[in-house]
Structure 1
Amino acid sequence: MKKLITEVTGVVAAPVERVWPVLLENVPSTETGEHALAYQGGWWYRGEWSLAPHPEGTRVVHRVYNVAEWLRWGVPLANRLFIGFGRRTREGFAEGLTHIGAKLGCATRVT
């Protein structure tokens, strides 16, 4: 069972076919699918990224889940009740989008 902790989305002004390889280069992954990848680390963390066509280019979605199978109740305590976690995730995501945009020579924005 996984519980959504936070979600952030953005747009890259390039088609999915151009964004996908750059995302693969920059996000460690343990699973990949069609324009989706996931990284699972530690005892609770799972990050999932997905790409989809958007009128401006590509919509990028990043979700963070709690996937702890034991001591699930301890995850918020271990992460200081996730205070500021959403903000930090959004900031990291924005930096990642900026990097992708710089590599592709196009605009990006967090939505």
Structure 2
Amino acid sequence: MRLLGEHQGLVHAPLPRVRDLVLRTAFSTSATPLRVSRNESEGWIEARGQWWWCGRVEVHEHAAGARVVYRTYNVATGLGARLVPVTVARGHRGAGPLRALLAELGERLGCRTELL
């Protein structure tokens, strides 16, 4: 797996509430079929879809509440792996997916969020 992008944000709510909500809802609204894995004790959820994409959301303790980290990986192999960064992955480099997740978390938890 090659890291394509990493974005972080803060959720101003207690860590257990944020972690529980992220582990239950992240990647649940995708129109693309995904294979989802979770590790509740380590606080992450990962989804794989299409032929090249893997996204992982981790929730960590922070003085303000919880720090949410969203990483996008290239899991393609062969020639496709070299082409992914300049073709299909261009739209996945931005913080859009994390912005959407932070907005949902803020709304559902009734708290402030911020992109770091």
TM-score range, shorter chain: 0.7 to 0.9
- The percentage of aligned residue pairs carrying the same residue is 31
TM-score, structure 1 as length reference: 0.85
Q: 2:43 aligns with which of 35, 39, 62?
A: 35
Match of residue 104 from structure 1: 109
Structure 1 residue 75: deviation in Å? Answer: 1.4
Instruction: Provide structure 2 residue ranges, at least 5 long, that are not aligned to the other structure.
Output: 28-34
Q: 1:56 aligns with which of 64, 67, 74?
A: 64
Q: 2:76 aligns with which of 68, 89, 92?
A: 68
Root-mean-square deviation over aligned CA pairs: 1.7
Q: 2:93 aligns with which of 72, 86, 91?
A: 86
TM-score, structure 2 as length reference: 0.82
Alignment length (residue pairs): 106
Secondary structure of the equivalent of 1:68? coil
Instruction: Provide structure 1 residue ranges, at least 5 long, that are not aligned to the other structure.
Output: none
Matched, 1:7 2:9: no
Structure 1 residue 77: deviation in Å? Answer: 4.1
